[in-house]
A = this chain, B = another copy of it.
Amino acid sequence: MGDQKRFMNIHVITIGSEILVGHTTNTNLSFIGETLADHGFSVLREVCIPDTREAIRTAVEHECRAADVVITLGGLGPTRDDMTRQVVCETLGLDSEVRPEIEEEISRYLRTRGVDVDARKVRVQAVVPEGATVFANKNGTAPGLWCPVNDTVIIMLPGPPRELEPMFVGDVVPRLEALGCPDFAQRMIQVCGIPESVVAERVETLLGAKTTLDIAYCARPGMVDVRLSGRSGDDAALGAAVERIREHFGEAALRADEDGVRGAVANLLTRRGWSVATAESCTGGGIGEHLTEQAGASEYYAGGVICYSNILKRKLLGVKAETLAECGAVSAETAGEMLDGLLQRTGADAGIAVTGIAGPGGGTPDKPVGLVFIATGVRGERSVERHVFPGTRQNVRERTIFTGLNTLRLQLIRMRSKT
């Protein structure tokens, strides 16, 4: 590449049969895409191929023709299906050399972990293209490699996320920033509880047909991501557009600096020093699991009860036998009593109680699969909502988790505006 910074076409080649047979999900691509987007760079194309010589050769040839930067993921280890280094060298006509300092580093890494050092396996990982820059691997053996080849840079990185991620952030991103200029800017807004088609229509009306911004939508359980992007100089236009959209959707729009609905609920509660508890039937603990994914949840989440069986609805929450018999476990009455029992027994300031039919079985004409009652309460206030969520068991459960949290979020916002 020349001295002048310029826009870069970045392509990614994921090497790993385990992804194509569905044993592993390609989270590396999400990580790289998101990290690059944060710096204004975009991945233009990704190819996923099996660990075979022929597939690697074809992909490397093809992507190197079209891209300024090609990032390969995986196939750098010591086993016989790890052949990325060798096939890249063959394909691009690069000579290779043994770097003794890599051998030393790997041997040291293995010894400090009490692993036997197999000299042959160590040597394989120390054979690198001549002139390559080597990135030390803090969490594994195979180093990353940065190799300029004519007008292209090929970057080879290890596949395990805990090896790849620090190397990508620490070594790759700064070098890409030195090499090329960012080619876009983006902003995202998340809108809750409104269908994608309605969100899209309103956003397009708001921004007008003449907008030069790209608009993309992604439907998630109970929420739509609206992503606006433009060239890297468009920050002012992006900011104004985001402001207009946020104003239009009001409390249905989440703030960008919060971590989704969970983050919004966390902020609303911690600001007042309040705690929330959960009583879950059809979600089986999923609301609690979601709330505690991020560290620091103990600031506002107390815990709660998973009352999957009717017996535990009675024993742990005091739901009345008559209520269960007359109204059923999936009813507004049961949800309400679950919430009351929860708040009484835990002493929490706020609560979410959910009961529903996640399916696929168990539906009736009166109470179809997807029927969910969500009770939320904050201090003295109570509400019970009835929903029918479409889709699979997983969909119904995800929507229930999301909607439970969003309902509490709205209740907390409205309380604030009243007082």
Contact = CB atoms under 8 A, between A and B. Distances in A.
Interface of A: 16-27, 29-37, 42-51, 55, 77-81, 113, 115, 118, 121, 139, 160, 162, 165-166, 186, 188, 195-198, 200-201, 204, 214-219, 225, 227, 275, 277-278, 280-289, 291-295, 297-298, 301-309, 311-312, 315-316, 345-347, 358-361, 390-395
Given A25-B27, A37-B21, A306-B285, A197 B79 contact: yes
B44 A20 contact: yes
A50 to B, nearest CB: 7
B162 A391 contact: yes
11 contacts: A21-B33, A139-B391, A139-B392, A162-B391, A165-B392, A285-B304, A301-B309, A302-B311, A303-B307, A303-B309, A316-B346
A contacts with B: majority SS = mixed
Contacts of A200: 78-79
A45 B196 CA distance: 31
B22 A33 contact: yes
A48 B43 CA distance: 10
Contacts of A43: 20-21
Q: Which 10 A-B pairs have the closest CB atoms?
A: A22-B34, A285-B285, A284-B292, A285-B288, A22-B33, A303-B308, A303-B312, A303-B306, A46-B48, A285-B289
A23 B227 contact: yes
B19 A30 contact: yes
Nearest to A284: B292
Given A21-B227, A51-B216, A297 B308 contact: yes
Given A23-B227, A286-B289, A391-B162, A217 B79 contact: yes
Contacts of A358: 295
Contact of A48 (B45, B201, B204): B45
Copies of this polypeptide in the complex: 2
A393 B295 contact: yes
A165 to B, nearest CB: 7
Contact of A19 (B33, B219, B347): B33
A55 to B, nearest CB: 7
A248 to B, nearest CB: 17
A80 B25 CA distance: 28
A272 to B, nearest CB: 17
A160 B139 CA distance: 35
Contact of A346 (B18, B29, B315, B359): B315
B289 A303 contact: no
A359 B296 CA distance: 9
Nearest to A204: B80
B295 A285 contact: no
B24 A29 contact: no
Contacts of A312: 277, 302-304, 346
A287 B292 CA distance: 13
B165 A18 contact: no
